[in-house]
Structures are given as structure tokens and as C-alpha cells.
Amino acid sequence: MRTRLVPVVLAAVFAAPLAASSASRPPTESQPQAGGVTAYVVPGVRTREQRTTVARTGTDIVEVRRGAVTVLATRTERRALARLGFRVRLLRRPLDFPPADAAYHNYAEANADINQLAADHPATVHLFSFGSSYEGRDLVGIRISNDATDRLDEPGVLYVALHHAREHLTVEVALSIAHLFAESTDPAITQLVATRQIYFLVQMNPDGSEYDIATGSYRSWRKNRQPNAGSSYVGTDPNRNYGYRWGCCGGSSGFTGSSTYRGPSAFSAPEVVRVRDFVDTHPNIRISISYHTYGDLILYPYGYTYTDVPSDMTQLDHDTFVAMAREMARTTGYTAEQSSDLYITDGDYNDWMYGAKRMYPFTFELGGGTFYPGAGIIASESVKNHAAAIYVAQMADCPTRAVGVTCDGSPPPPPPPAPPPPRPVTAVPNSFTIYSGTRTAGDVTALGADDGALLQIASTTSGTRVTSWYGRITGVPNALTALSGTYRGSHSASCSQGVYLYNWSSGTWARFSATTAGTVENEAAFSPTSSLASYVSGPSGNGDVAMRVHCTRSSNFTTSAELMKVTYTPAQQNLLR
Ligand code: 0X9
Ligand code: ZN
């Protein structure tokens, strides 16, 4: 068995991730010397000079082993190697994800999964081809609908994944959403399957993604695998190749070696043409999500300009984008913003879908924090995206409904009925604490009702006689609009009585009642008018209210507490979900 000498991936300079944090930097990536997808082992290559000779044919050396190199080569390059006298052997190792990421679907596995889904749900899952990639891979589309044939009179929604080769998580999320629509028995979803055409283009750049995993270790490849005339650099960035303001604004590169190379002309990349043709022939599509990684973002047009509402966008559409993106940000936890808030692009999917087609596209930058977040993230990231996927399908009949504008001239639906205003709540202590004096009868339950049951506390017995204690009422919200306190009690002899609430902000007892109280039961009732939350412990949520009763006299006495309660009105819940 050969030992691996230096597992060097010569050409792979791994990319700076294109997350929000590195938003202004364009992505970088490896640039192999020429195109090709077939992996070969070239034995007998030992010296740097030999490797240079191999590399000069244009092949991409991806691994250096003892006495051999592994290359990725086109047919032309393979012939060139043969002419130079090198033997090439097909790499037996399958081109696949590293073992740890085996849960990801490569091109064949994704198609197998799609085929199985269609076999399991023949009435609703319909497969189609939307053409071929540059290298001739079939571009497989899924249509989910209870209609056997495509119905352009039904609202359409389109999910696209894998514009960028290394963004493999997008395939997983799109597959998961397809499974959701196909398998769910939730009436809300079956209703969508019955009334919508739900389209998926799950792998729009399969050549690039297969290339990315071709060696069993990632190559950080982004573009497609289309050669560039007169250049050894391969590939066009599909997300810079769409024909709306293509190349207009410094948001793409004209250099073939750049990872954001826009191509020689708009729609020069076959995969982009295939997406265009699909959209052109499906005017029923109203909303689309294009999945990318990573950055936890929901982006809406435009990307070519920082202007929010340029002349090629209506205010209504802008408002609709914002409202829908916000709703999806709520359910995903991602941040909604205009594409150009991330950075300027030109020729991206979003801009063409809106600018040229007047559809409502969103670009999702999924989470994961890296292009290769591992298989562990697949399930959680998929589920996180389900609600947004359902939402766009629901809105596909009339996206402007998001801002209350109906599409059939009917009046907007009435706003949901306002919830009833919060009602006052009365609460009594669940515990008490004695500062001065001694309990002689009763317990905390005696404080809960004006029923003759008493909590009795004997005063101190020397100096100025004192009873001093407080009851603690728990579960009171900090957000409250009214607060009042009531204390009823008597004493075996008259004493100077004060009733207080604890101010948790200042750390002091605030006196609300001062009176001489005797053997006749007296009531102290009071309502603080400001800083109500400071009488509740903690900064937010629920806390405690403490009510203190203090009485002094020159000779012994006993306090009989009959009732202690607070009444509060919780603040209205925030109606914005
Ligand atoms: O640059 C892209 O094509 C997308 N980001 S990624 O990291 N997946 O490559 C973002 C495209 C959205 N458009 C703009 N940001 N203008
Ligand atoms: Zn991307």
C-alpha cells in the first residue's frame, strides 16, 4: 500500500468565506490550470520537475503521493499527458464527499433521492429535466402538485439551489423542503400541493459541485466548469451571469481567473441559460428562493445598486420584499436586508428575476458559518427553513398581500380582532418574613382572604415595641400598567403603623400609608402611580412584590394581619409576532 507522502492540495487555496462578516471581500478560490472532471492517478511522477511538466499540460494536481500524483484532467489534458509519455490510471476511489460528510448528497445521490421521492409519491411528485450542464449532466427539476401535468394557471413558487458549487448545504435544504411538500399530511401543506405548482431546481451547478468533491477533500470551488476561451482558467460564476444589468456596476469580474467571473456575455453559462429558459416558460412563478451559503441572511433586490427603490422598482414591490423578508427572518432567525447591503453584485439571480421578470426573488444565505459545516447541521438548518418555504408558497397567489394589497380587487382582509385588553390580576403572598416580633398564630394562608383567619405577630418586648414583617407576592410581571396594594389588619393596642412596598431599583422600602392603627380592623389601600416596575424584582419577566407592615408602641402588643394583596394589570402583549 502506498503511503501518502504529502497530502498537499496544490491548487486549493481555500476561500475566505463569504459571510456577512467578510461581506465586502469577494470570494477567492483555487484556480486549477484547466477544466475537467475526471480524476486520474499518474504514476512515476516523483520530482518537482516532473510535477511541473504534468501541471503545464493544464491538469490540476490535487494530491502528491510517493511516486505519483492525482490529477483532475479533461480529455484533452489526459491526451497531452499520454503524449508526454505519462501513464494515466482512472482513480478507483469514488468521487464523493469526505467520509465524515457522507450524509450530503452528491449529484447521483441527490438524483436517486429525487427519484425515490417521485416513486413514493407518484400523484404529486413529478420530475422533469430542465436541460444539461456544460459537462452534460442532466439538470433535474421537481414539480410538486396534485396535477399530473404542469398548470401554468396555478401560482408557481420556485426553489433553486447550488448556484455555487461548494454550497452543498443548499442541496440538502432544498431536498428537505421537497420532502416536506411531498410527505406532509398537514392540511395547510396538502392545500398548497392542491393549489400551487411547486418547482425545485435542486442542483443548478452540478459540474461545479462534483468537481468540488472530486478528490474526497473539498476544493472550495464556486463557479461552473465551463472553460474560458483563450484562458487556462475555468468557470463562470453563475450568480454573475444573469442578463439584467449584467456587468453594469463593478459587482462582478471580467477576469476569467476570478471566482466572480461574469462570463464573456450575459447568459453565457449553459446552466444559467437553463434556469432562464425554465423561468421564461413559467410565467406563473411569482416568488422564488435561491439558496446559498452562508451568512444567515435573507436578501431581496436589488444587488446592483445601493438605492432602495430605484426607478426600476416600484415602491409597492419594495415594500412587499421588505414585508416578506421580515416575516421569513422571523421564522428562520436570519437577518433580512437588501442584497446590496451585503455587497454590490451585478448579474445575480435576484436582480434578473425581479428586474427582468417582475417576480419576487429572495436569496437565502443559509447558516453554518462555513461552506463545509459538516453533516450535523443538515437537519436543523433544513427544519429552520421549512416555515419560510411554506410561506412563499402560500403567498405565491398574491405576494403583495404581505402589505395588505390584494390581487383581485377585493378589499384587504380585515385586521385580526384585537385581543381583549389585559384584565387586572389579584395576587396574595406565598410567604412572609418577620424582621421584628414573633409569630404566635396563623400562617401565610391567613393573609390570602378577608375571612377572619389571622396571622398574628407579637411585638418585641423591650424598648420601643415593634412588629415588622413583610409578605412576598411572586409571579408579578415587570411589564404592568397598574399596581395597587391592600392591607387589612388590627392590633391588640394602638400603634404607629406604616405600610410599604419594596423598591427593588433603589433598594429601599417606600411607605404608602402611615396611620395610628388600633383594635378596629383598618385598611391601607394605595396605588403607586409611577415606576411601577421598580416594585417588581428583576429587570423583566415576572418578579416579586414585597409588602411590609411596621408598627411601633411603647408597650407590648400583638398585630393581627387579616389580608394582604396586590392587584396589577399586565401590559398588553406586543402584537408584532
Ligand atoms: O455573492 C453571491 O453570489 C452571493 N453570496 S455567496 O456567498 N453565496 O456567494 C450573494 C448574492 C446576493 N447578491 C448580493 N449580495 N448583491
Ligand atoms: Zn453562493
For residue 394, which of 105, 191, 201, 187 has the smallest C-alpha distance?
Answer: 191
Indicate whether 390 pLDDT > 50. yes
Ligand 1 atom closest to the Cα of residue 299 is: 12
Active site residues per annotation = 365
Beta 522-526 vs 360-366: how paired, if at all? unpaired
Is residue 414 very low, low, confident or very high in pLDDT (cuts 50, 70, 90)?
confident
Identify the pLDDT of residue 53. Answer: 83
What average pLDDT does range 466-494 have in this prediction? Answer: 96
180 alpha carbon – ligand 2 mean position (Å) = 23
Q: What is the pLDDT of residues 217-228, one digit of tens each?
A: 898 899 999 999
Identify the pLDDT of residue 205. Answer: 98
Identify the pLDDT of residue 59. Answer: 67
Is residue 157 very low, low, confident or very high in pLDDT (cuts 50, 70, 90)?
very high
What average pLDDT does range 157-168 have in this prediction? Answer: 97
What average pLDDT does range 117-143 have in this prediction? Answer: 97
Ligand 1 atom closest to the Cα of residue 363 is: 12
Identify the pLDDT of residue 541. Answer: 87
Identify any residues that bridge with 125 across adjacent strands, giving them in sequence order: 144
Q: What is the pLDDT of residues 79-124, one digit of tens each?
A: 999 999 999 998 765 567 888 899 999 999 999 999 999 999 999 9
Q: How far apart are CA 395 and CA 226, in angstroms?
A: 37
123 alpha carbon – ligand 1 mean position (Å) = 36
Indicate whether 133 pLDDT > 70. yes
Nearest CA owner, ligand 1 atom 7: 18
Q: The C-alpha cell of 454 is what?
A: 389571622
Instruction: Report CA torsion sign: 233, 239, 243, 246.
Output: negative
Identify the pLDDT of residue 62. Answer: 60
Question: 10 Å Cβ neighbour count for 48?
Answer: 10
178 alpha carbon – ligand 1 mean position (Å) = 23
Higher pLDDT, 552 or 41: 552
Identify the pLDDT of residue 64. Answer: 62
List ligand 1's pocket residues with C-beta within 6 A: 18, 27, 164, 167, 239, 292, 299, 303, 339-340, 342-343, 345, 348, 350, 363, 365
Nearest CA owner, ligand 1 atom 2: 239
Flag the least confident range among 61-75, 289-303, 521-535.
Answer: 61-75
**Strand ranges of the sheet holding 360-366, from the earlier edge strand across to the other edge:** 125-132, 138-144, 197-201, 156-161, 285-293, 360-366, 297-300, 335-338
Question: 10 Å Cβ neighbour count for 5?
Answer: 13
What rounded mean pLDDT belongs to the chain? 89
Is residue 33 very low, low, confident or very high in pLDDT (cuts 50, 70, 90)?
very low
pTM of the model: 0.64
- HSE-up (13 A, CA, CB side) for residue 437: 30
Nearest CA owner, ligand 1 atom 14: 339
Is residue 21 very low, low, confident or very high in pLDDT (cuts 50, 70, 90)?
very low
Ligand nearest 260 Cα, by number? 1
Question: 10 Å Cβ neighbour count for 523?
Answer: 15
Identify the pLDDT of residue 35. Answer: 36
Q: How far apart are CA 123 and CA 149, in angstroms?
A: 10
Q: The C-alpha cell of 134 is what?
A: 456544460
Identify the pLDDT of residue 318. Answer: 98
Identify the pLDDT of residue 217. Answer: 83
Q: What is the pLDDT of residues 45-65, one digit of tens each?
A: 988 888 878 876 766 656 667
**Contact criterion met (CB below 8 Å) for 144 and 181:** yes
Indicate whether 200 pLDDT > 50. yes
Nearest CA owner, ligand 1 atom 13: 339
Higher pLDDT, 15 or 83: 83
Ligand 1 atom closest to the Cα of residue 292 is: 8
265 alpha carbon – ligand 2 mean position (Å) = 20
Is residue 73 very low, low, confident or very high in pLDDT (cuts 50, 70, 90)?
confident
Give the rounded percent of residues in the chain with a pLDDT score beyond 90: 76
Indicate whether 10 pLDDT > 50. no
Indicate whether 535 pLDDT > 60. yes
What average pLDDT does range 273-288 have in this prediction? Answer: 98
